Amino acid sequence: MLTLVLIASISAQQSAPPPGSAIPPQGFADTRGGLKTATPAANPTSQLGPEMRGDIFMARKMYREAAEMYKQMDASSAITWNKVGIAYHQMLDLDAARRYYERAAKLNPQYPEAVNNLGTIHYAKKNYRRAVSSYRRALRLTPNSASILSNLGTAYFARKNYDEAFKTYQQALALDPEVFEHRGAAGVLLQERTVEERAKFHFYLAKTYAKSGNPERALNYLRKAIEEGFKERDKMNEDPSFAALRELPEFQELLQYKPKVL
């Protein structure tokens, strides 16, 4: 499933350990003189700043604890409130997330991460026009962001502006060939669509990959579209985006493919 990408600015000097990483022991065995006594060690996270501790909580999906840690960061920094917003967003508290994103954007109007994340709130609330506006504003601040272009294309698609969605997806793919394949905690799942909408969505992703010269992924998404009920097979055969695929046996098989009805 494609993701809408939330963007956080994480300090280059800090990186959270992966979920499930081992915590160092809280003491060690002192065997001097044959005695075994446990000597308490410092809490392994006690020397870390609130940002890194918050990042560790986020990696472990402990979002409320992460939010509390981030709130101890510099209150005058837009990065602080953007991170707090992401933690609340992951808890699905969209109203709280929006307030913190807005606070970040007010502190620094040139901060594209917070503006992008506001767009994801508008999208989640199905206010696609405002989502488009937020993503376009974020792109004015950082024109070469594949993630924001992907988000913008998805908002266009939700508004049934398929031509603009297709063009925007092409721009995103040119900047990052893996932009539609990204997974992870940085994303928010695309809203559930009807089966018909998903079929059309995958058809347009197939067009995007075909246009960029990636036949394998184009065929994969065409198959998904067909399995989800895409019936306009004539479009597959006539669309110029698929010109380079038409002679492939796999493409001809897809034109005849009849998915099993479950």
The CA distance from 116 to 171, in Å, is 17
What is the residue range of 216's domain?
A: 193-262
Q: What's residue 2's pLDDT?
A: 53
- Local structure of residue 187 (DSSP, 8 states): E
Residues 243, 257, single domain; the answer is yes
**Dihedral class, residue 61 (left if φ above 0, else alpha if ψ from -120 to 50, else beta):** left
Does a structural domain hold residue 167? yes
- Tell me whether residue 209 is in a domain: yes
Same domain, yes or no: 200 and 171: no
The verdict on 176 and 220 lying in the same domain is no
Do 138 and 181 share a structural domain? Answer: yes
pLDDT value for 33? 39
Radius of gyration, alpha carbons of the chain: 23
Residue 117 lies in a domain: yes
| Domain edge (last residue) among 174, 192, 210 | 192
Residue 39 in domain? no
- Is there a domain that residue 82 lies in? yes
Asked whether 105 and 98 are in contact (CB, 8 A), the reply is no
Query: Does 34 reside within a domain?
Result: no
Instruction: Supply the pLDDT for residue 193.
Output: 55
- Whether 198 and 158 map to the same domain: the answer is no
What total of structural domains would you count in the chain?
Answer: 2
In a domain, 17, yes or no: no
User: CATH number for the domain including 156?
Assistant: 1.25.40.10
How confident is the prediction along the chain (262 residues), in pLDDT tens digits per residue? 455 777 776 443 334 334 343 333 332 333 333 334 444 445 555 578 999 999 999 999 999 999 999 999 999 999 999 999 999 999 999 999 999 999 999 999 999 999 999 999 999 999 999 999 999 999 999 999 999 999 999 999 999 999 999 999 999 999 999 998 875 434 443 444 566 788 898 999 999 999 999 999 999 999 999 998 888 888 888 899 999 999 999 999 988 888 765 5
Query: Which of the listed residues 134, 165, 192 is the one where a domain comes to its end?
Result: 192
Q: Are 219 and 245 in contact (CB under 8 A)?
A: yes
Is residue 29, in this structure, part of any structural domain at all? no
- Predicted local distance difference test score (pLDDT) of residue 185: 38
Mark whether 219 and 256 lie in a shared domain. yes
The pLDDT score that the predictor gives to residue 26 is 32
Residue ending a domain, choose from 161, 192, 223: 192
Query: Do 92 and 203 fall into the same domain?
Result: no
Q: Do both 176 and 53 map to the same domain?
A: yes
Phi-psi region of 175 (alpha: psi -120 to 50; beta: other; left: phi over 0): alpha
The pTM (predicted TM-score) of the whole model is: 0.76
CB atoms < 10 A from the CB of 103, how many?
17
Residue 161: CB atoms within 10 A of its CB come to 16
| 82 lies in the same domain as 94 | yes
Instruction: Indicate whether 141 and 205 sit together in one domain.
Output: no
The verdict on 164 and 225 lying in the same domain is no
Does residue 67 sit in the same domain as residue 125?
yes
